[in-house]
Chain A
Amino acid sequence: MADVMTLRKVRAGTSASRRRTAAGFAPKIRRNLSAHGFLIGAVLCFTFFSWYPIVREVIMSFQKAVFGGGYAWAGFTNYVRIFHDPTFWQAWRNTGEFTVLALVIGYAVPFCVAILLNELRHASGYLRILVYLPVMLPPASALLLFAYFYNPQYGLFDEILRALHLPTSQWVFQPGTGFVSTAMVSVVIASTWMNMGGATLIYLAALQNIPGELYEAAELDGAGLFGRIRHITIPQTKLILLMLLLLQVVATMQMFVESFVLTNGGGGVADNTQSVVMLIYQYAFALSGASNYNSASALGVVLMLVLAVFSGGFLWATKDRG
């Protein structure tokens, strides 16, 4: 009996606690209604346009299209197929090459330009606009401009080389699949020109947050330009540098439009500028009569996993354990 009474008390207590919780929860909801409203919008957006497609992609990578519409379970068939595609490893190699070159050129150049702009006392506003202007061009337009520059028949770059009596190049269509090929460097140069404005402005904002006293103190201690950059600029902008490094690697691993526009969707001589995302596009869309969303999904999943592992590793390695 005592047990029953205890049970009733416990239940009554639980019930009261629930009422209190509910009574406390409702005002919270009401108080934060607008915040929740905005949150729902964002969550729905992510659900429909990011999370659902990701889940769907993973599911599709294990399916195959069946005659008459619909899909059937295919196990790892799509993964086997893409691993056997002769272009698969070439595309990964090219993507890696582009990422490394984009880091060497595309990561360092904006940082140097930002330091230069930060040091300038005159016309820096105009120069910032000039640096940022290419970002405002639609990527396809900017790349068509470079396609003209690179044209071996009437392009600007070969005209200059001819005027200087130097050997000309076919640039993006230059044969050669070795590391740092002319074709890939040409793609990276166009990409850097197109994208460096955004990174430069972010670096510039970080640089301008560094207290001037630090530089003055360093100068009094006899630090030169490189000393100031090494001991003040880089440590003070470390967080931004690391974040941009991560974002840039993730972005460059997904290179598509640069090579696609510059090579007319072909991927260059012997596929020497073919990227992983271009291959995904070709699987999904470019093979009229044989297009295959499932193989494209499988390659998309592989790319996602590679980037996820890289990002996780990067964040772990750069975690401040102090």
Chain B
Amino acid sequence: MSRQRYRLSCRTAAAVAAVAGLGLAASACSSSGSSNASGGGKVTVSIDCAPTAANNPVQHKEWLADVATFEKANPKITIKSVYNYPCEVPATFTAMLRAGTEPDIFYTYFTDLPQVLIAGQAADITPYVNSKTVPTLKDIVPGAMRAVTAGKTIYGLPTSNYTQGLVYNRMLFSKAGLDPNNPPTTWAQVEVDAAKIAKLGHGIYGYGDYSAGNTGGWHFSSYMDAMGGKMVNTATAPPSAAFDTADGTAILTALHTMRFTDHAMSPTQGLTWGSLQQQMAENKLGMYIAAPDDIYNVIVPTDKGDVNNFGMGPLPSASGTPAGSLGGGNTYIFAKHDTPAQIEAGIKFIDFEDLTPGVGQFNFARTKADGQPVGFPEPELFDGAAGTKINELRTKFATVNTSNFAAFVKASEEDLGEPLDAQAVYKTLDPVMLAVLTEPNANISALLKTASTNVNEILANSPG
């Protein structure tokens, strides 16, 4: 009997332990990752997109130094860095917003604000943003401020701004007998140059592009901007697709010709962001389109490319003068749960790290001393006095040959932002890009027509 009781009590204990364990697990699941303001006038602010030691060791070291300097100057503020690479993964970003578990200050793309606002996760920081808290405020380019503003309400601060251009490999240009100081500007020239580079063999291809993860449609949009076209016509009700045009056909025809007639593009397709940068770093790729930060944030520090091998020209177009470029950038948004003290402290840190000439990301003297390249034409976040000051500093400490980027700077492409319902439109154009790059007999006209119908359907049923 006692033995039976003992066995029963053991099983009971095990059952209780199982239930208790479940309760603990549930409570663990429900714990929030958010930090709070601490007592004694001290405040802690969590911020993501801190450079990781694994992917960006030098930037990681510089970030730590900046945080230490800032905290020393502001002893009542503690910066809690959240390290992640890439800074935003759409799936986890969406889940984070829905769960309300974002850090006090969180990284977004320019196109993310509507989603953040619908999720109700942004704090109104308008009363805290002025020329005293952000001295360079008046010089931030209007397009960048629009990315953090809805109506007259400010929800964050921009930290970079870009347009795209043609990134090309100067070493491969030289090897192929092309002039590395004279990058192609028209699609016809791109085709000729790509074919010559591909003739080098050994797995080297002249041109590369994406066709998955929404990045194919993203690039197609930029090509359309450069040709003077547009993706979505917002003048109609509902908005409608506007890319089934001669420009759209010309772009896809050029890509198809390079892939199947000239064999200037790799048979490996279905690529997404990250793959072309690696090929460029390994000197296996002649050209692709990107913003300048692909070079100094990815190709050089992460993929270990030689900075002197790369240059930039304008986006390819029909005339050689791009009508514009898809533009974008990054911002820091303040979370809904932030206290006023956290907002004030956060603005102070972002101003220090991202918006002050000569400091933080604009501390070109330190970047140079750390052996990192200086002189890239980005981020073009400012005009006016701040823009002039930053350009002076950039020129003063330049380590890269700025003439390698002169063609891109000279083109001075107009930043046209991103199309309406951008990611849904990009997703619909991915299969078009993939078909053009994998199907020898691709019917470009039919592909554009189908994609146009699909985008119209999406725009007409957009959740808004």
Contacts and interface: CB of A to CB of B under 8 A. Distances in A.
Are A and B physically bound partners? Answer: yes
Interface of A: 33-38, 40-41, 44-45, 48, 64-70, 77, 80-81, 84-87, 151-154, 170, 172-175, 263-271, 281-282, 284-295
A284 B203 CA distance: 38
A68 B117 contact: yes
A36 B434 CA distance: 56
Contacts of A65: 118-119, 463
B424 A174 contact: no
Interface stretch (B41-49, B55-63, B88-96, B374-382): B88-96
Which bucket holds chain B's interface residue count?
35 or more
A283 to B, nearest CB: 10
24 contacts: A34-B8, A36-B15, A37-B16, A38-B15, A41-B15, A67-B117, A81-B461, A85-B458, A175-B435, A175-B439, A263-B212, A264-B272, A265-B212, A265-B213, A266-B430, A266-B431, A268-B434, A270-B434, A285-B95, A286-B214, A287-B424, A290-B422, A290-B462, A291-B90
A266 B216 CA distance: 10
B448 to A, nearest CB: 13
Nearest to A66: B118
Nearest to A287: B423
Q: For the complex, would chain B's binding face be called helix, strand, loop or mixed by DSSP majority?
A: helix
B434 A269 contact: yes
A285 B92 CA distance: 7
Interface in B334-364: 336
B22 interface: yes
Contact of B213 (A35, A85, A266): A266
Nearest to B420: A290
A35 B14 CA distance: 10
Most buried by B among A33, A45, A173: A173
A154 B458 CA distance: 38
B70 interface: no
B453 interface: yes
B19 A37 contact: yes
Nearest to A153: B268
Nearest to A35: B15
Nearest to B116: A289
B96 to A, nearest CB: 11
A157 to B, nearest CB: 13
Nearest to A68: B120
Interface stretch (B107-115, B134-142, B227-235): B107-115
B269 A37 contact: no
A288 B438 contact: no
Interface string B267-286: 11111100000000000000
Contacts of A282: 427
Return the 3 tightest CB-CB contacts between A and B, nearest first: A69-B120, A37-B15, A266-B212
Given A152-B267, A270-B431, A290 B421 contact: yes
A285 B427 CA distance: 12
Contacts of A34: 8, 11-12, 14-15
A269 B431 contact: yes
A34 to B, nearest CB: 4
A284 B98 CA distance: 11
A297 to B, nearest CB: 12
Contacts of B92: 285
Contact of B463 (A38, A170, A286, A294): A294
B14 A285 contact: no
A286 B98 CA distance: 14
B255 to A, nearest CB: 14
Given A41-B22, A264-B271, A295 B463 contact: yes
B121 interface: yes
B88 A288 contact: yes
A238 to B, nearest CB: 37
Contacts of B435: 175, 269-270
A292 B114 CA distance: 12
Contact of A173 (B112, B269, B457): B269
Given A85-B457, A287-B90, 13 more contacts: A33-B8, A68-B120, A69-B121, A70-B120, A173-B270, A174-B438, A263-B270, A264-B271, A264-B272, A284-B94, A288-B94, A288-B111, A292-B463
B156 to A, nearest CB: 15
Contact of A266 (B90, B119, B203, B211): B211
A294 B462 CA distance: 12
A295 B458 CA distance: 12
A34 B438 CA distance: 62
A199 B119 CA distance: 43
A269 B458 contact: no
Nearest to B29: A48
Nearest to B26: A48
B18 A266 contact: no
A289 B450 CA distance: 24
A86 B117 contact: no
Contacts of B270: 172-173, 263-264, 266, 268
A175 B422 CA distance: 26
B245 to A, nearest CB: 20
B402 interface: no
A69 B119 contact: yes
B267 A38 contact: no
B309 interface: no
B189 interface: no
Nearest to A176: B439
B424 A290 contact: yes
Interface in B70-115: 88, 90-95, 98, 109, 111-112, 114-115
Nearest to B273: A264
B22 A45 contact: yes
Contacts of B16: 37
B266 interface: yes
B115 A289 contact: yes
Nearest to A39: B15
B454 interface: yes
Contacts of A80: 461
Contacts of B90: 285-288, 291
A125 B439 CA distance: 46
Contacts of B121: 69
A287 B423 CA distance: 5
Contact of B115 (A152, A281, A290): A290
A172 B461 CA distance: 31
Nearest to A81: B461
A38 B13 CA distance: 10
B346 to A, nearest CB: 20
Contacts of A290: 114-115, 421-424, 462-463
A85 B458 CA distance: 6
Contacts of A287: 90, 214, 423-424, 427
B431 A170 contact: no
A66 B16 CA distance: 42
Contacts of A77: 463
Nearest to B275: A264
Contact of A264 (B19, B213, B421, B439): B213
A140 B401 CA distance: 42
